[in-house]
Amino acid sequence: MSTQSPPGPDIEADVCVVGSGATALFAALLCARHGHTVVLASPQEEFEPAGAGISPLLAPPTLQLLAEQGVEEELIRDGRRVLGVDDHGTTGLLSRWRYTDHPGIARPHGLTVTTGTLVQALLARLRDEPGVRVHTGVSVTALTQDDDGVRLTTTGGAIRAAYAVAADGRASALRELTGIGLDVRTFDRPAWLVVTPDVPGRDPVLLVRHQAPAALFTIPIPPESLAVVWSPDRDQEEALEQGGPAALAEQLRSVDPELADWLERSRDRVSPLIRLAFSLWRADRWRAGRVLVLGESAHGLHTLGGQGLNQSLQDGASLARAVHDTLTTGDGTRVDDYERIRRPHVEKLQDFQWNLQPLRSYSPAPPTRGAHEDFIEAMTRLDPALAGQLAASG
Ligand SMILES: Cc1cc2nc3c(=O)[nH]c(=O)nc-3n(C[C@H](O)[C@H](O)[C@H](O)COP(=O)(O)OP(=O)(O)OC[C@H]3O[C@@H](n4cnc5c(N)ncnc54)[C@H](O)[C@@H]3O)c2cc1C
């Protein structure tokens, strides 16, 4: 594996993946393990270090996909198991479910793990693959295509590949060079996030507490911490902007008094308060000739469904299979399986989020069902069309 390339003749590979994150690395790894030569062109000079970044919740089907590639040990060691969801309304429990309630589930838990730990685990596996080259700190500046492939001009030299994959995030430079457009819809309700040391004695679950129109979400994350996300009523927002974690503790007092006390007592160990803005975005096509868009280059979801990274990694598995099928059979239509299978599934999740009133309005009507009940399917099972694609031989 090389890490830098001087300008020179074109670098050739079956697949060139552009990106620095877990999505790019997972797709590159799977393409390599299908037996193809791969260049990973990373816009970042350095990959995110283990333990750095945010800690998304990986769902059992995603954990299974990672485990099948031998990517599990570091995640289990450094991540936090999450056993399910408890969702409380103002008058009591709205719903409680555990992963173990779902027969045939791949793992009896989800896992919160830092993006840096996942990135380093995937990078270590990628380094061991023959036929893989990793180029860091390279930006793609131009693109040409013909019937046989794609040629990327980068700041580290030119790369020629049968297929190129844009896994370089929402503002993907490669997607923009293809002319694929992005439709963006913005939610006008923000939320605020702090990370605090664990509140002692709590079950390791995603805990939701509604006080319509406000809602509180807490989830265990590494290392021994709790991510607290508060979606307040509109007239509470200014106080949060001015008052930081102290204002948050004040607002949480009537929703979760124990947490409010804990935030005050642990104030020296609580992170700054971060305002989260939410939007959905979708690429108008997932393929332009020999360029495929992947993960957040193709779509973005509202954070509160906990699906952004899960869906991106699942995309990677589908894309690698579709590219493999095309390269090995010579049937250029097989690559379209990726968009055909993944795009309706992801857009259905997006439509569902967009139509969820609590994400978009400050309606005072109390919820009658748990916020995550409609996500149970996505949190526990692989999309059947994707499962079928991955199970199929050839
Ligand atoms: C608060 C929050 C909570 C979320 N919770 C969940 C969840 O529970 N479940 C879920 O599935 N998704 C969740 N998401 C979405 C998820 O985090 C993203 O979908 C995912 O991180 C995108 O990964 P990617 O590899 O596609 O990112 P890309 O945008 O392609 O790449 C980002 C990557 O670039 C690299 N990078 C960025 N900056 C630097 C830097 N300065 N130095 C080095 N490298 C850098 C890192 O490796 C980083 O991982 C959440 C997002 C947010 C903001």
pLDDT tens-digit map of 179-222: 999 999 999 999 999 999 999 999 999 999 999 999 999 999 99
Long-range contacts of 151-157 (CB under 8 A, 24+ apart): 151/10, 152/16, 152/18, 152/41, 154/41, 156/4, 156/5, 156/7, 156/41, 157/5, 157/6, 157/7, 157/8, 157/10, 157/11
Atom of ligand 1 minimally distant from the CA of 170: 29
Sorted by sequence, the CB contacts under 8 Å of residue 109 that are 6+ apart come out as 60, 81, 82, 83, 99
Q: Is the pLDDT of residue 156 over 60?
A: yes
Average pLDDT, the chain: 95
User: pLDDT tens digits for 318-342?
Assistant: 999 999 999 999 999 999 999 999 9
Q: With pLDDT > 90 as the criterion, what percentage of the chain qualifies?
A: 90
Q: How confident is the model at residue 369 (pLDDT cuts 50, 70, 90)?
A: confident
- Does the pLDDT value for residue 284 go beyond 60? yes
Would the CB of 22 count as within 6 Å of ligand 1? Answer: yes
Residue recorded with tokens 């297929």: 163
How does residue 51 score in pLDDT terms, banded at 50, 70 and 90? very high
Q: What's the pLDDT band for 297 if we cut at 50, 70, 90?
A: very high
- Residue 57 Cβ inside 6 Å of ligand 1? The answer reads yes
Question: Looking at the predicted structure, is the pLDDT value of residue 83 above 90?
Answer: yes
pLDDT exceeds 60 at position 4: no
Does position 3 have pLDDT exceeding 70, yes or no? no
**In this predicted structure, what is the pLDDT of residue 26?**
99
Cβ of 120 closer than 6 Å to ligand 1, yes or no, is: no
pLDDT tens digits for 162-191? 999 999 999 999 999 999 999 999 999 999
CATH of domain 191-276: 3.30.9
- Residue 222 is classified by DSSP as T
Residue 55 C-alpha to ligand 1 middle, in angstroms?
A: 9
In the chain, where are the structural domains located? 11-79+114-186+279-366+375-391, 191-276
Strands 274-276, 157-166: pairing kind: unpaired
Residue 302 has pLDDT above 60, yes or no: yes
Residue 315 and residue 307: Cα distance in Å, rounded? 12
d(CA 292, CA 364): 43
| CA 106 – CA 360 distance, rounded (Å) | 33
For residues 29 and 41, the answer to whether their CB atoms sit within 8 Å is no
130-153 per-position pLDDT tens digit = 999 999 999 999 999 999 999 999
Q: Rounded to whole angstroms, how far apart are CA atoms 25 and 12?
A: 18
Instruction: Tell me what the mean pLDDT of segment 38-43 comes to.
Output: 98
pLDDT-derived band at 364, boundaries 50, 70, 90: confident
Query: What band does 305 get if pLDDT is binned at 50, 70 and 90?
Result: confident
Name 165's Cβ contacts closer than 8 Å, sequence gap at least 6: 15, 16, 17, 18, 19, 24, 27, 291, 292, 293, 294, 319
Confidence (pLDDT) at 394 = 57
Cα–ligand 1 centroid distance for 115 (angstroms) = 6
Pocket lining: 325 vs ligand 1, CB cutoff 6 Å: no
Ligand 1 atom, smallest distance to 311 CA: 11
Site to probe by mutation for ligand 1, drawn from 20, 195, 276 as the one with most ligand atoms within 8 Å of Cβ, is 20
Q: Which CATH superfamily is domain 11-79+114-186+279-366+375-391 in?
A: FAD/NAD(P)-binding domain (3.50.50.60)
C-alpha 235 – ligand 1 centre gap (Å): 30
Q: Please report the DSSP string for 69-94 in residue order.
A: TT--HHHHHHSEEE-EEEEEETTEEE
Which residue carries 């007239």 as its tokens? Answer: 235
Pick the residue whose CA is nearest to atom 25 on ligand 1.
Answer: 21
